[in-house]
Amino acid sequence: MTLTCKCSENSKLQVLIITGGHEYEHEEFKDMLDSFSGVEYEEVVQPLANQIYLSDSIDKYDAIIYYDMVQEISKDQKSAFISMLQKKKGLVFLHHSLASYQD
Residue 97 has pLDDT above 90, yes or no: no
Q: Looking at residues 79-91, what average pLDDT do you find? A: 87
Q: Could you give all domains of the chain from N- to C-terminal order, each with its CATH number?
A: 13-99 (3.40.50.2300)
Tell me the three state secondary structure of residue 10. coil
Q: What is the pLDDT of residues 46-72, one digit of tens each?
A: 888 889 889 888 899 999 999 888 888
Q: What is the pLDDT of residue 71?
A: 84
Higher pLDDT, 7 or 36: 36
Parallel/antiparallel/unpaired status of strands 39-45 and 63-68: unpaired
d(Cα 80, Cα 100) in Å, to the nearest integer? 16
Residue 99 pLDDT > 80: no
pTM of the entire predicted model: 0.80
